[in-house]
Structure 1
Amino acid sequence: MKIFKNFTSNDYIQNDVSTTCIGGFDGVHQGHQQLMKSANKFAKDYQVVTFDTLPKLYFNSKHKLLTTNEDKTKLIQNFNPVNLVFINFDHVVKYSPKEFCNMLEINLKTKNIFVGSDFKFGLNREGDVDYLIKHFGNDSIHIIDDYQYKDNKVSSTLIKSYLSEGKVELANESLGYKYSFTGNVIKGEQKGTLIGFPTANLEVNNNIQIPKIGVYEVDVNINNLNYAGIMNIGYKPTLSEDKKLSLEVHIFNFNNDIYNTGLTVNFKSFIRDEKKFNNVDELIQQINKDIDKINKN
């Protein structure tokens, strides 16, 4: 897979492709996967076209994402497109639908397009699938039906709502894989170590969707090695007066120094809400119960 970053109208792909799969691809969820599978079945020489900055994030800096571009690249690579093109959104933000279609046709050699029914493009989102049909012809536009799971249309927005409610299993089933984020291990207050449960404190991309405050069963990947663990997202009310949200993971059977190391947390299930205990001993008892519950799964 060849990767094009910051693609503009001054750039041209060199290899031959017949088919373009286009969308935002935030989360690369089951709906996106169905889109790519359909394109791949139609033509092995298909490419994926998306944007370096998701339009919703471009217009709203507080918009949350399911995946970084690095995560997105790794996930899309599993579906074997010949190209992955990140269009520089700032470059095309004022393009008319016609200008955008010309870029698809000339710079990206697009002949056939696979797209979701709700795809919008061009200045003020004036372009839609009907415009694509008008420009490229009816036989060239392949509109993929919405992917349904438990009577709901799978979308990035729905998955983020699941995560914000702690419904990790529903989010994972809609994604087709375990929701995860990657962070850098930073120095914390080390209060976990004092009570017998050392934790890795994570610093993550500010735009990434953080699940609901609470305690989670997780898998942790460090240097391509996997470990079981338990994660707390919250404010540690029993141990701290700090009002800053913390992301802490206790990794089972692990005691290496991993400060300034990147690690990935894969969410498996929501265990319980965070709560303030009467004392540290009650907190320790509850953590042991949480770990026992995970070990029985």
Structure 2
Amino acid sequence: MQVIKIHHPLDPQLIPAGPVVLAMGFFDGVHRGHQAVIRRAKEIAQQRNLPLAVLTYSHAPGVVYRQYPGGFKYLSTTERKLALLEQLGVDRVYLVSFTSQFAALAPQDFVDQYLVDGFHSQVVVAGFDHTYGPAETASMDKLPTYARDRFEVVTVPKFTEDGNEKVGSRLIRQLIDAGQVQEANAELGYYYTTTGLIVHGLARGRTLGFPTINVETPTPERLPGIGVYATDVLIGGHWYGGMASVGHNITFGDDNQLTLEINLFDFSQMVYGEEVKVRWYQYLRGEEKFAGADELVAQMKRDEQAARQVVAHRPVLEDQILS
């Protein structure tokens, strides 16, 4: 898959010649609703024997306008989003840096400069609620007017689960923040996955008989809410089952930083400095403050049993797009 990074104003020399079918969207998480857009665009591209291109952005537009006081946490970093798009059969990605100058483009100028003159779009595909400027002037309903018969517009309808709430990034973020990773996985169509670096911790787990890896998660990534989870961890090309704790270790004090610690089952390797992926399967319980180490160890033994069961019998997702 070809990735072309674009900074406004668009340099036409960056863009390959020839028409494309273009899918538009920010696609945070590349969830099942996004997958429906990409797959519809892929069908059209195959029918017309054209490349499938995707227009997306390197960061959330709201970040530029400080709409997220605590910083924005992504369902998928740019690297992960690109990997997911590639798995869906995208041929080319136009990765646009969302700047104030780019945002200032009038809808007609955006269409003329990018969709027509820049990308040579023959068909443009997007979700029903996609916007390319202010919602009142840059909706999908208005796109055919700006297109002026120079390209076809295909609007993909709302993707819902059993006719209920729309499958969307905002809902999935809420589910992950609440620890509802099973429900989030169903909306995503694959297992929610984060990345990180294994770093030294305080080694408390080893003294309790439950050695853990401490995973330092990149700031832009969204960790599930505080609690204990059943997980898999990819280290050196192999997946290892484990139980993960996202929390403040409140049994050992009230002012501890938030950490991600994972006890891997049947694992004893030295892995400091390894970059890992964590797949999140199921929430087991919330963080608790125990009276002492013995009470904590007893609970961890119960957690291990529960987590082993989940990992051994994890569901197969029908629309899973990850290997």
Q: Is the 8 A contact 1:20 1:114 kept in 2?
A: yes
1:177 to 190, 203, 215: 190
Structure 2: which amino acid aligns with 1:13? Answer: I
Q: Are positions 1:114 and 2:125 aligned together?
A: yes
Q: Are positions 1:142 and 2:151 aligned together?
A: no
In the TM superposition, 1:23-34 aligns within 5 A as 23-34=25-36
Partner of 1:248: 261
Q: Are positions 1:35 and 2:49 aligned together?
A: no
How far apart, in 1, do the equivalents of 2:139 and 2:45 lie?
23
Q: Is the 8 A contact 2:242 2:308 kept in 1?
A: no
Partner of 1:59: 65
Q: Secondary structure at the match of 1:228?
A: strand
1:74 to 83, 91, 105: 83
How far apart, in 1, do the equivalents of 2:209 and 2:43 lie?
53
Alpha-carbon deviation of 1:7? 4.5
Alpha-carbon deviation of 1:161? 0.7
| Per-residue deviation, residues 149-169 of structure 1 (Å, max 9, x unmatched) | 141100000001111122111
Unpaired runs of 5+ residues, structure 1, are none
Q: TM-score, normalised by structure 1?
A: 0.94
In the TM superposition, 1:155-234 aligns within 5 A as 155-234=168-247
How far apart, in 2, do the equivalents of 1:46 and 1:289 lie?
49
How far apart, in 2, do the equivalents of 1:212 and 1:229 lie?
17
**Equivalent pairs, count:** 297
Q: Is the 8 A contact 2:178 2:224 kept in 1?
A: yes
Question: What is the root-mean-square deviation of aligned Cα atoms in Å?
Answer: 1.7
Unpaired runs of 5+ residues, structure 2, are 311-323
Partner of 1:98: 108
Structure 2: which amino acid aligns with 1:171? Answer: A
Identity in percent: 28
How far apart, in 1, do the equivalents of 2:134 and 2:254 lie?
48
| Per-residue deviation, residues 90-112 of structure 1 (Å, max 9, x unmatched) | 15122111221121211111121
